[in-house]
Chain A
Amino acid sequence: MTLNDMEVGHTCIVERLNDEGEIRRRIMDMGITKGAEICVMKIAPLGDPIDVTVRGYHLSLRRSDAANIEVIPA
């Protein structure tokens, strides 16, 4: 399953990133790497993007990018 499938309030562990190039690199730079714990905190009023906590801070990213992050529910 991917980060995009996670429900608000649930935590998961990153398994791998399927993105390509720049976006993938950015996501990694922001701390979403294999083994990182992510908790989905909020969904924006218009349904996208989502707000997650990773490595102790809040990060927002789009659903289309979240769909490329494979996770295992914790």
Chain B
Amino acid sequence: MALTIALVGNPNSGKTTLFNQLTGNHQYVGNWPGVTVERKTGKLKNHSDVEVVDLPGIYSLSPYSNEEIIARDYLVQGSPDVIVDIVDASNLERNLYLTTQLMEFGVPVVVALNQMDVVHKRGCELDSAALSKELDLPVVEISALQGDGIDNVIAAAKVAAEGRKAPSPARFSPDLEALIEHLEADLPQAVAPQLKRYYAIKYLERDEKVLAELGGIEDLDGHVRAVEARFGDRADAVISNERYNFITSFINEVQKKTEPEMSTTSKIDRILLNRVLALPIFVVIIAAIYYISVSTVGGYATDWANDGVFGDGWYLDPVAIVNPDASTQARYDADAEPYDEAQEAIANYLDAASEKGIDTTAVAANFLAEPDEETIEAMGEGFEPDPESAETQAALKAFEAKAASEGVIAEYTIINEEDLTQTDYFVYVGEQNEAKAQALADARNGEIAAEGRSEAAEAVVYNFDGEVASEDNEGEMVPQGVLVPAPQEHEAYGIWIPGIPVLLGGALQAVGCVDWLYDLIMDGIVAGVGAVLGFVPQIMILFFLLAILERCGYMARVTFILDRLFRRFGLSGKTFIPMIIGTGCGVPGVMASRTIESESSRHLTVMTTTFMPCSAKLPIIALIATAVFGGVWWVAPLAYFMGIASIVMSGIILKKFKAFRGETTPYIMELPEYRLPRFVDLLRSMWERAWAFIRKAGTIILLATVVVWFLSGYGVYEGQFMWVGEELMDYSFLAYFGNAFAWVFTPLGFNNWQSASTVITGLIAKENVIGTMAIVFGGGELPWASEFMQALAATTGSLALVPVAAFAFMTFQLLCAPCFAAMGAIKREMGGFNKWFWAAIGWECGWAYAIALIVYQVGKLVVLGQFGFGTAVAFLLIAAILFGLFRPMPRDEKIAANLSTVSETA
């Protein structure tokens, strides 16, 4: 038979877990009140004719919160066949309060007694048969988590639904019963008989929604006054009292409580909620989570994914996890690094020599790993490099003799990507030039010392063809230049697994893929989507750790710790929940703000939640933290605290505007028992969110990277539409587009078209910021992250400003308007494209711009000591923010606010 089961219960009673058990769905579960905000519907597993409706968790059926209104509207209008009331057995008294209200709808009720294991663990006893007798309702013991008793609930629900027996409502004291009976008799005829008691009680409670619904029944007021006169209290208080009296009348018969020694929860709270330790512990926990997921474990995972899986390849080598210095990769690097250094020196020296008119063809063709095509053509058909052959050696000697006699010294700079140190090389040939090169290097070292940059820069000499004494091992001679042997193939060192781009590129070439398609797939899709997917391991670690926090019960405590702080900014401790969910994704984060009762606080929360770095912004932080700041620990936590600070400061500033002034947000929150999360649940929660991220990478980001690749690959050069490729990318459509507004970012230190275009593609999805960077900065000689830094060095005109500009870039990307999906969520919560929506987007963009400008300009002042127009603007902005933070509440409005309270009380 077709029937509808409504699941109702207190927040955090295990309702969603039961819903998942019943339907086989995997709804989001957390251990804090208010996880389910909307109602969800599913089909009962193996019973396609049974519909299960999961209503939001509620404590009562008052008309004050959205959840309560959703739940009771459904119960009155949706007329389910049976209500399954999930009761947390470990919190029986308060949970039954809702049960007494559910008994008044005339719909059969089945009580599902959950978390009996917690009751037993506490050494308590609960007699479910006695409870069933007292309530005159079927009571079924279940464990939603283990899936025990689920079949019994279904069976009991079916029997109850078929019986169609309305529960007998909770009995109040005889005096009140008599008064309710009179009121019922006077209700309008339109009220269905089974709902008469419900409406009568709601009327006594002066429930605004019910009063509006019934209308024109002022003559009932006498009944309310009669109740209030009889009980000497407001009628709604009388009703609440009577409900709890009904429960306490039998509760001690039903549950036997042994006098509790200190519960585990209290023991944990003694530490975690300790007055002195609570805040430091909170900061440490949050910092640790992001330290683990961004800087350390997550960082290694991302390196592996980015450089290995989506790079050249990686060694299957467990040692790398334990001791990276002894890993196969390290052994390969020990051979490859001197070779790379030598190649750089050879290439630069040959360039310098050919500028002096010396023929370098034969040397270049034989000693460069990747000589250019012209050189190979010049060597004639069928040329194979052979450095050992007599012919080559003769050509090398001839070249060296000429270069030595001309006194050619090649000079160039290498920047270490990881620690940003710079090395100036002076390459020479022949003993007679060594002293000359050394003198140049010494002079440069003198300059560096004079500038006080000895820590970050060094000048060295390098022999084009020879051996030098090793620095760390006296006596041992180390080859340099053309004498450095090439490393062996990867396979010779260990088990080598080629990266996806290598495998895919090989496969495409094997099937004879046309060039443009090859470029599209490799440089567009694989580079863009790969750059995004590379962060999946990191995001999974973050989600795993957040899932622990959510499920163990700490999240509700965080609101307790932070409420005082947030209230000062017109927010409530509950604001922290949207913020924390927002670190996963801004869309559910914005939606979670619905649990905040006060409208002004809700608006503020919606406006500011996306300041928290979401998982899609995480790659930006990771990139800046690792590539620019060499993996220092403080960048990632700082990014998150910057998000929190932005929310807090926005709250203080905006609260002083009339639009955000409102009633103070109530804060009455249950602190749930701590629970040990189950590992499978943590894994599932992690996977669900990571999968959403991956799916996005496969759809919208894939599409966006294709568009970006097209816009960056094609353009108009010398009046012709053409493929501009990497060499002429500055003429691409994307470059035109980016250049059109790159000037906007001049005061922020990143006014190049590449960076500007990432701001736009970031609006489609924030993952695109990294994906686009991989495309527009890719294809150069250096890894794209280094090309990005080079571009910043060019725009700021100083290497020292690269970290500052990169940080400003990150700041802007993190704080500015979120992606279109999150904007859609903001639109929904604000109620359309109204002034609230635009105020939110405008504030986010303006704030991001101001903070990034301050970061860059103040950073510039600190690093270079230059004070300019931009610095002045930065200080003006700081002053404006400080004014906004510390100005007193505007007076005229304060009076108005007081007047309104006075009139209300009057």
A residues adjacent to B (C-beta < 8 A): 16-17, 22-31, 33-36, 41-49, 51, 55-62, 64-65
Chain B residue contacts of A56, Cβ below 8 A: 91-94, 257
Cβ-neighbour of A33 out of B244, B266, B279 (below 8 A): B244
Contact B94 A49 (CB under 8 A): no
**Partner among A17, A23, A44, A47 whose Cβ is within 8 Å of the Cβ of B668:** A23
B275 beta carbon closer than 8 Å to chain A: yes
Shortest distance from the beta carbon of A72 to any chain B beta carbon, whole Å: 16
Shortest Cβ distance from B173 into chain A, in angstroms?
Answer: 13
Contacts of B240 in A (CB 8 A): 25, 28-29, 33
**Which residues between 711 and 748 of chain B lie within 8 Å of chain A, taking CB atoms?**
none
* Cross-chain contact B666 with A26 (CB below 8 angstroms): yes
Q: Do A34 and B233 touch (CB < 8 A)?
A: yes
A47 and B279 alpha carbons, distance in the complex (Å): 12
B94 contact from A24, A43, A57, Cβ within 8 A: A57
Max count, chain B CB within 10 A of own CB: residue among A25, A36, A41, A45: A45
Nearest neighbor of A36 in chain B, beta-carbon distance: B244
Complexed CA–CA distance, A70 and B789 (Å): 64
Q: Which residue on chain B has the smallest CB distance to residue A26? A: B668
Residues of B at the A interface (CB closer than 8 Å) are 59-60, 62, 64, 91-94, 97, 205, 233, 236-237, 240-241, 244-245, 257, 265-266, 269, 273-276, 278-279, 559-561, 563-565, 567, 573, 597, 664, 666-672
Interface centre among A22, A59, A62 (most CB of B within 10 A): A62
**In the complex, the 6 A-B pairs of residues with the closest C-beta atoms, listed nearest first:** A46-B564, A29-B60, A58-B671, A28-B240, A55-B93, A45-B278
- From B59, B245, B564, B667, contact of A61 by CB (8 A): B667
Asked whether A25 and B92 contact (CB < 8 A) given A30-B59, A59-B668, the answer is no
Taken together as a complex, chains A and B put the C-alpha atoms of A44 and B750 apart, in Å, by 44
In the bound assembly, the distance between CA atoms of A2 and B33 in angstroms comes to: 27
Do A51 and B97 form a contact, CB below 8 Å, given A28-B240, A59-B668, A60-B669? no
Contact present for A31 and B93 (CB under 8 Å):
yes
Residues of B near A48 (CB, < 8 A) are: 563-564, 567
Please name 6 further chain A to chain B contacts, defined as beta carbons within 8 Å, in addition to the given A23-B666, A25-B205, A44-B563, sorted by A numbering. A25-B236, A26-B59, A26-B64, A31-B97, A44-B561, A46-B565
Rounded to whole Å, the gap between the CB of A62 and the closest CB of chain B is: 5
A44 contact from B205, B265, B560, Cβ within 8 A: B560
B666 & A22 in contact (Cβ 8 Å cutoff): yes
Considering the chains assembled together, what is the distance between the CA atoms of A49 and B672 in angstroms? 16
The one of A29, A43, A64 in contact with B275, judged by C-beta atoms closer than 8 angstroms, is A43
Chain B contact surface mostly: helix
Contact between chains at A34 and B94 (CB < 8 Å) = no
Residues from chain A with a CB closer than 8 A to the CB of B94 are 30-31, 55-57
- Alpha-carbon separation in the docked complex, A62 to B244 (Å): 23
Contact assessment for A30 and B668 in the assembled complex, using a CB-CB cutoff below 8 Å:
yes
Tell me the nearest residue of chain A to B265, going by C-beta: A58
Contact for B597 among A22, A43, A64, CB less than 8 A: A22
- Which residues of A lie under 8 Å from residue B561 when comparing CB positions? 44-46
Write out the residue numbers on chain B whose beta carbons fall within 8 Å of the beta carbon of A65. Answer: 666-668
The residue among B257, B564, B597 with the most chain A CB atoms within 10 A of its own CB is: B564
Could you list 27 A-B pairs, sorted by A, with CB under 8 Å?
A16-B233, A17-B237, A25-B64, A29-B97, A31-B94, A33-B240, A34-B241, A44-B561, A45-B276, A45-B278, A46-B561, A46-B565, A48-B563, A49-B573, A49-B667, A51-B671, A55-B91, A56-B257, A60-B559, A60-B667, A60-B670, A60-B671, A61-B667, A61-B669, A62-B667, A62-B668, A65-B667
Q: Are B560 and A60 in contact (CB under 8 A)?
A: yes
The residue in chain A whose Cβ has the minimal distance to the Cβ of B277 is A45
**Whole-angstrom distance between the alpha carbons of A49 and B566 in the complex?**
12
Once bound together, how far apart are the Cα atoms of A15 and B563, in whole Å?
27
Complexed CA–CA distance, A68 and B97 (Å): 22
CA–CA, A44 to B269, complex, Å? 11
Interface of A is mostly: mixed
B264 CB, nearest partner CB in chain A, Å: 13
Least distance between B446 CB and chain A CB atoms (Å): 55
Q: Would B564 and A49 count as touching, CB distance under 8 A? A: yes
Q: Give every chain B residue within 8 A of A55 (Cβ-Cβ).
A: 91, 93-94, 244
Which residues from chain A contact B667 at a C-beta distance below 8 Å? 49, 60-62, 65
Query: Known contacts being A34-B233, A56-B93, is A42 close to B273, with CB within 8 Å?
Result: yes
**Are B97 and A27 neighbours in the complex by a CB distance under 8 Å?**
no
Task: Quote the shortest CB–CB distance from B275 to chain A (angstroms).
Answer: 5
Interchain CA distance A56-B251 in the complex, whole Å:
12
Specify which of B92, B241, B671 lies most central, judged by the most chain A CB atoms within 10 Å of its CB. B671
Q: Which residues of B contact A42 (CB under 8 A)?
A: 269, 273, 275
Instruction: Look across to chain A and name the residue whose beta carbon is closest to the beta carbon of B232.
Output: A16
Interface centre among A25, A31, A51, A58 (most CB of B within 10 A): A58
Residue of B nearest to A43 (CB): B275
Which partner residue on chain B sits nearest A31 by CB separation?
A: B94
For B573, the closest partner residue in chain A by CB is: A49
- Distance, CA A70 to CA B385, complexed state (A): 94
Contact (Cβ within 8 A) B64 A57: no
CA distance A55 to B97 in the complex (A): 11
CB–CB B237/A51 < 8 A:
no
Q: Distance in Å from the Cβ of B217 to the closest Cβ of chain A?
A: 21
B842 to chain A, nearest CB (A): 32
A29, B59: Cβ atoms closer than 8 Å: yes
Distance of A51 Cα from B376 Cα, bound (Å)? 79
Closest partner residue, chain B, to A8 (CB atom):
B275
Q: For A59, what are the chain B residues with a Cβ–Cβ distance below 8 Å? A: 668-671
Chain A neighbourhood of B245, CB < 8 A: 35
| Chain A residues, Cβ within 8 Å of B666 | 22-23, 26, 65
Tell me if B62 and A25 are in contact (CB < 8 A). yes
Known: A34-B241, A45-B276. A26 touches B62 (CB 8 A): yes
Contact B560 A49 (CB under 8 A): yes
How far is B564's CA from A60's CA once the two chains are assembled, in angstroms? 12
In chain A, what residue has the closest Cβ to B248? Answer: A35
CB-nearest residue of chain B to A48: B564
Q: How far is the CA of A43 from the CA of B91 in the complex (A)?
A: 22
A4 to chain B, nearest CB (A): 14
CB distance from B83 to the nearest CB of A (A): 18
Which residues in A have their C-beta under 8 angstroms from that of B563?
44, 48-49, 60, 62
Specify which of A25, A34, A58 is in contact with B670 (CB 8 Å cutoff).
Answer: A58
Q: Which of B91, B93, B668 contacts A27 (CB 8 A)?
A: B668
A59–B40 alpha-carbon span in the complex (Å): 28
Give complex CA distance A24, B205 in Å. Answer: 12
